Amino acid sequence: MNEIVAQKLKKTRLLIGDNQLTASNKRGVRQKDVSLMSQEKKYIPIEYLVYMLNHKIDLNTLVNENTELKRIQNYRPIDEIEIKIKELSEVINNVMVSEHDNVPGTI
């Protein structure tokens, strides 16, 4: 990770309004890891990327050295999408089970 991305990570966290401890607790990342990311000494864990996405941070602007950090307009948080995926998976499983139950010769 380079210095610009590390600075943007810190700016992102401050933009969200969280200190290192709060940011780490929200997504299950160690506070030390949050600190190391801001110092260019650690990769960005997926949990931390999700934390930023849930706060409408455009990750493209985070990693692009030539753009200012931006928020995403009309963004649905990852948590909401995960819930919808689970709901749809349950519906699909229920349909598959009921179709299987209606096939002659199946147990």
Q: How far is CA 9 from CA 41, 42, 44, in A?
A: 12, 12, 9
Sign of CA dihedral 19, 20, 21, 24: positive
Quickly state the pLDDT bin for 86 (edges 50, 70, 90). Answer: confident
How buried is 23 (Cβ within 10 angstroms: 0-12 exposed, 13-18 middle, 19+ buried)?
Answer: buried
Predicted model pTM: 0.61
Give the model confidence (pLDDT) of 21-44 as tens digits: 998 888 788 888 888 887 777 788
